[in-house]
Amino acid sequence: MMSIMRGRLFEKVGVHCSTVHGEFAPEFRAQIPGAADDPRFWASGISLIAHLHNPHIPAVHINTRFVVTTKAWFGGGADLTPVLDRRRTQEDADTIAFHAAMKEACGDGNGVADYEKYKKWCDEYFYLPHRKEARGVGGIFYDWHDSGDWDADLAFTQEVGRAFLKIYPQLVRRNFNTPWNEADREEQLIRRGRYVEFNLLYDRGTIFGLKTGGNVESILSSMPPEVKWP
């Protein structure tokens, strides 16, 4: 199920709830834990991608998922993408608040989540090698998460969602009245181009969806509504 929302504040928001099952294609099986033994899979997840009108409000992404092959694991995370260079720092108030929220989510997960590991994983994952730059300012990212305590792993994944629900509206309210100009808009559109490049070239979710015969409109809904390459 896909919902696309547009408005005065949110230029484009895509929200997805998906449950899919089938068999991985032969060329894809070696990349998925447990799929080499049996290509059948079941997966369910929630994802959200938001692009805002005001360049001072960072774009954001969150995804949580549960995947079953002959093995089973949780994955997901949330990351923040400011679109103005002067806001793309670890000292920016939005960055500090977002990191604090994700750290709290890991701390509430019954001891099964390693915040420093998942923070580092996010920095490494959301990186554009051809640009030699990060997509945003980070957050957390995790995959193949299976501590052996399914209930604790589920609780951790739920906490990631709850932490996002708490912090991101705060960032939106903090910034939506901040004045911006055409130069800021131009910078925002160019930065969105980097977002497109990452999602089409490197994003596992995009690749997974296309390889498993998913709904193309849904898979590509993370694309910004307007973008520029200088």
The pLDDT tens digits along the chain (230 residues) read: 889 999 999 999 999 998 989 888 787 788 888 888 899 999 999 999 999 999 999 999 999 999 999 999 999 999 999 999 999 999 999 999 999 999 999 996 668 999 999 999 999 999 999 999 999 999 999 999 999 999 999 999 999 999 999 999 999 999 999 999 999 999 999 999 999 999 999 998 888 778 777 788 888 889 999 999 98
> What is the residue whose two structure tokens read 């915040």?
115
What's the whole-model pTM score? 0.93
- Name the DSSP letter for residue 111: T
Active site residue 16: no
From the candidates 16, 51, 61, 99, which is the catalytic residue? 61
Return the beta strands (E) in the chain as ranges: 2-5, 10-23, 40-52, 59-68, 72-81, 127-128, 133-134, 138-145
- Element containing residue 217 per DSSP (H, E): helix 216-219
